[in-house]
Amino acid sequence: MSATPPKNWFKPTVWAALVWNLLGVIAFIIQMMMTPEMISKLPLDQQAAYSNIPIWSTIAFAIAVLGGTLGCLFLLAKNSLAAPTFTLSLGAILIQQYYNFVVINSIELLGASAVFMPIFVIIIAVALLYLSIKAKQQGWLQ
């Protein structure tokens, strides 16, 4: 397939997605830096959730945000590794959300509002995976 130039919206969209994913990296760093004193100031239910996060959920969080960030960088570099990287990131997001919704039942801990951000994260991850696949099909990536 011959390469066609990306549409005008492609780069601004990917830059916005990169900022989004960098915010995820910041959220991960903040979670990793939470001290017992910081956790003790949270409501009791949330204290239990933050004090006992299993390593597999933490690893999934790291893979999710770093994978999303790297996937965006691959898109900006027009590299076809974007799609497999976004696939890995999405898989990690789903593992992390399993912990949040099944293991600790975050809806019970935090209320129905705890559903909106995770759903938004999943929608964006799926959209970025779709974009990377379409970009490859359009010849925007090599």
Read off the pLDDT of residues 97-128 as tens digits, 9 standing for 90 and up. 998 888 878 777 777 777 888 999 999 999 99
Residue 41 domain flag = yes
Read off the pLDDT of residues 41-69 as tens digits, 9 standing for 90 and up. 988 877 877 878 899 999 999 999 999 99
Residue 5 domain flag = no
Taking CB atoms within 8 Å and a gap of at least 24, the contacts of 95-98 are 95/56, 95/57, 95/60, 96/57, 96/60, 96/61, 96/64, 97/122
Total of domains in the chain: 1
User: What is the model's pTM?
Assistant: 0.87
Work out the percent of the chain whose per-residue pLDDT is above 90.
67
Read off the pLDDT of residues 126-137 as tens digits, 9 standing for 90 and up. 999 999 999 999
Residue 2 domain flag = no
Residue 3 domain flag = no
Q: Which of 26, 136, 37, 36 lies closest to 86, judged by CA?
A: 136
Domain that holds residue 80: 10-137
Residue 95 domain flag = yes
Residue 25 domain flag = yes
Q: Which of 8, 10, 2, 142 lies closest to 72, judged by CA?
A: 10
